[in-house]
Amino acid sequence: IAMFGIMVTAFPKVRVARQAISAEEKLGLPSNATSIRSSISDSFTCESRIYGYYADVENDCQVFHVCLPVQFPDGKEETFKWSFICPEETLFNQESFTCTRPEDAVACDEAPQYYSLNEGFGQTDRPEDSSQAPQ
């Protein structure tokens, strides 16, 4: 009778604790974003918004988002969101779509009143009478 020896090797299961994902990581902001703003909220949504730039009032307009709704050939729709943080001592001015000093910007709590300015993206000024167009 031949005896076969079986050698069993056991490796301990390594478990890595899941780390909580911070708001700045979820938003795709730089890892040092909290040096500009200590607490960052991730409550802004692009759902039902047209393409454009949006000041984030929950973050005192220091964060802004670019929303891009897309319709795929199969008919499915998805809205993409990219988030950005303004440099120190600036906030996103919804009227000019730039990061500016607070005294040069519309009041942050009034920013949603200016969201409709996004409707102008992609629009070009054209003469009403085509005979006035340069030839």
Is residue 20 a part of any domain in this protein? no
pTM of the model: 0.70
Is residue 93 a part of any domain in this protein? yes
Is residue 65 a part of any domain in this protein? yes
pLDDT at 121: 83
Is residue 34 a part of any domain in this protein? no
pLDDT at 29: 73
Residue-wise pLDDT tens digits, 97-121: 999 999 999 999 999 999 999 999 8
For 77, the domain range is 44-119
The number of distinct structural domains making up the chain is 1
Is residue 77 a part of any domain in this protein? yes
**How far is Cα 133 from Cα 111, in angstroms, rounded to an integer?**
36
**How far is Cα 121 from Cα 102, in angstroms, rounded to an integer?**
24
pLDDT at 83: 92
Is residue 49 a part of any domain in this protein? yes
Is residue 4 a part of any domain in this protein? no
Which residue ranges of the chain lie beneath pLDDT 50?
16, 18-20, 133
